Chains A and B, each alone.
Chain A
Amino acid sequence: MAEEVVLLDFWPSLFGMRSRIALAEKGIKYEYKEEDLRNKSALLLQMNPVHKKIPVLIHNGKPVCESLIQVQYIDEVWHDKAPLLPSDPYQKATGRFWADYIDKKIYDLGSRVWKTMGEEQATAKKEFIESLKLIEKELGDKPYFGGESFGYVDVAFIPFYSWFYAYEKCGNFSIEAECPKLIAWAKRCMQKESVAKSLPGQQKVYDFILQMKKHLGIE
């Protein structure tokens, strides 16, 4: 039976990028469908009725929602190539812990860095940098979060690199100055074709954020 894989996505989505990378790592052919979030398709509303959000992975007509769940699903179904999760249960647990930390802390703090001004932004910036330093500490001297090979936590986190320039310009700071090892790790990941072709350019993301700020009345 021919496999039919569709990804409902939105080009600057950090979460969509994760699934793009996982699909590329496994060499899976799929149909990419760009959603207009101001005018969501009937398919999106049908496939994710609870949240009505992207990304949605549709495999042979059946939807999988939530990016980290999609990455784990892709890893399980196409298990014969480029394993993303380690086989050891304790290492798996560590990976899940950090992916959860990235979603709970990094994403929210990053959002506050570009969405706020003044005092609020200063606080967000401080906490954002602290979180990045924690993640950098977890990376240590390893080439990737999982060790020698690119894996689950790398997939979860590398999309943020495409947003770093936007965070830096909005918050007026340098992530490389604060976390040089993280930037080195990011550049290493960007050498991989699966990552390079899944992430939008940093300038393009910044232009998008500027548009969003105007639209939200933040200046």
Chain B
Amino acid sequence: MAVLKLFGAWPSPYVFRVIWALKLKGIPYEYIEEDLSNKSPLLLQYNPIHKKVPVLVHDGKPICESTVILRYIDEIWPQNPLLPTDPHERAVALFWIKFADDKSPFISKLYRTDGEEQQVAAKECFEMLEAVEGHALVGGKKFFGGDEINMVDIAFCSVAHWLGVIEGFTGLKIFEPHKFPRLNSWIQNFKSVPVIKDNLPDTDKMSAVLKRRREMLLASKSS
């Protein structure tokens, strides 16, 4: 019997990507919560290079990096496919997934930094939203791939949920619905998908945790 374990840390969006993929495909797994300030020997053994979550362990074999994990899951369990089958459509999907991967860290930087560094992050986030609005959601599609949620939607989860929470406690205003109408529709659609709706981190709890993390990070910088 295949044994599937997922090492994660709440409320990492990269971990949630994997959770949603597994739930969308109806795959059972065991979840192990990691304390990132005190990483378990098992995590360090399974991901010695990056020492990060998520790590998926399938029959004792570790897979690291959320996008690598998502593609692995999609290949092993092909039901409810998360990528298009047409090679060109797939290449376009992978382009946007890479774009999301490259830009999502700037969303985290919004709460992890202040001053000029934060301003740079805010500019990067705004440009990301512009690119997605202008190029990825053209044509009135419900989701990035059409009528059904796929890996691209999952990859942009930080935009759909984390960004709003971070804007809330930092006082930044980057996403405005009237400036990004296609994105705004997509966010509503994404959050209405049952698997997503039922498995989103609580906004109040997340706000408290990230706010405290921000205070600790900024305090240690100035000391």
Contacts and interface: CB of A to CB of B under 8 A. Distances in A.
Interface of A: 49-50, 59, 62, 64-66, 69-70, 72-73, 76-77, 89-90, 92-93, 96-97, 100-101, 134
B49 A69 contact: no
B65 A59 contact: no
Contacts of B64: 97
Range for the number of chain B residues in contact with chain A: 20 to 34
B179 interface: no
Contacts, number: 55
A64 B91 contact: yes
A93 B63 contact: yes
Contact of A64 (B49, B58, B69, B88): B88
Contacts of A77: 87
Nearest to A64: B91
Contact of A134 (B49, B71, B90): B49
A62 B91 CA distance: 11
Given A72-B94, A92-B71, 18 more contacts: A50-B99, A50-B131, A62-B88, A64-B91, A66-B98, A69-B98, A70-B91, A73-B88, A73-B90, A89-B76, A92-B72, A93-B68, A96-B67, A96-B71, A97-B65, A100-B67, A100-B68, A101-B49
A76 B68 contact: no
A61 B65 CA distance: 33
Nearest to B87: A76
Contacts of A62: 88
A49 B68 CA distance: 26
Q: Which of B65, B69, B87 has the most CB of A within 10 A?
A: B87
Given A89-B72, A96-B68, A100-B65, A49 B135 contact: yes
B75 interface: yes
B45 to A, nearest CB: 16
